[in-house]
């Protein structure tokens, strides 16, 4: 595990709302664009899709309070951190997600060859032991790592034309883990 020198960055995003979690598709009210002159061989399936445009890295979403151990001695010491809270972390959204969250996560997994979930639960009682150097404070925050991606939702009409793109940034849960950082005591 890599020990950081600063606490985890906390991105600004909303949690997955009922609209994003719903399996029900809301069709846009705008008039579809004119169909192509030469129709395709097969009709298109109507509905929203998600298209990823950029992968930005991982961010840690903490569950419960951060913990810390101070070592004021002149030699290294063992620190053990045990989670005292459990919680579920879902897809975080900045902007508007019109596609189903599960469809967006599946597209991101395919695009970037990663394993993601719509939600992950960090459970109580998980322990982690590390060595705290002399005159150092080791901090630990338990939670879920999420992959940050940008992209857009877009409605596809049955006549194979596409609607307006709606931009969003998604934070998709990838794995449960602890973010560790150290400061001078």
Question: Which range of residues forms the domain containing residue 115?
Answer: 14-21+45-184
In a domain, 37, yes or no: no
Residue 176 lies in a domain: yes
The 10s digit of each residue's pLDDT in 106-144 is: 999 999 999 999 999 999 999 999 999 999 999 999 999
DSSP per-residue codes, the chain: -PPBSSPPP----EEP-HHHH-SPPPPP-SPPPPPPSS--SSPPPPEEEEEEEEEEEEEEEE-S--EEEEE-SSS-EEEEEE----EEEE-EEEE---S-HHHHHHHHHHHHT----SEEEEPTT-EEEEEEPTTEEEEEEEEEEEEEEEEEEEEE-TTS-EEEEEEEEEEEEEEEEEEEEEEE-
Number of domains composing the chain: 1
pLDDT digits (tens, 9 = 90+) for 71-87: 999 999 999 999 999 99
Q: What is the pLDDT of residue 44?
A: 87
Residue 57 included in any domain: yes
pLDDT score of 10: 74
Residue 4 lies in a domain: no
27, part of any domain: no
Q: What is the pLDDT of residue 9?
A: 81
Whether pTM > 0.85 for this model: the answer is no
Q: Please give, one letter per residue, the 3-state secondary structure of 113-142.
A: CCCCCCEEEECCCCEEEEEECCCEEEEEEE
Tens-place pLDDT, residues 37-72:
665 557 789 999 999 999 999 999 999 999 999 999
Q: Say which CATH number the domain at 90 has.
A: 2.170.15
Q: What is the CA radius of gyration of the chain?
A: 22
């Amino acid at each position: 595990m890599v020990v950081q020198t600063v606490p985890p960055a906390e991105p600004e995003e909303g949690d997955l709302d009922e609209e994003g979690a719903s399996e029900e598709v809301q069709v846009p009210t705008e008039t579809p664009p004119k169909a192509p002159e030469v129709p395709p061989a097969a009709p298109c399936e109507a509905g929203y899709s998600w298209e990823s445009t950029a992968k930005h890295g991982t961010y840690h979403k903490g569950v419960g309070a951060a913990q810390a151990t101070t070592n004021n001695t002149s030699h290294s010491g063992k620190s053990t951190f045990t989670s005292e809270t459990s919680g579920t972390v879902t897809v975080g959204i900045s902007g508007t997600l019109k596609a189903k969250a599960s469809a967006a996560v599946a597209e991101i997994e395919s695009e970037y060859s990663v394993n993601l979930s719509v939600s992950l639960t960090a459970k109580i009682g998980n322990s982690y032991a590390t060595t705290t150097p002399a005159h150092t404070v080791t901090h630990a925050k338990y939670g879920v790592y999420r992959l940050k991606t940008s992209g857009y939702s877009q409605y596809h009409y049955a006549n194979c034309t596409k609607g307006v793109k709606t931009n969003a940034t998604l934070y998709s849960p990838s794995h449960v883990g602890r973010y560790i950082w150290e400061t001078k005591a």
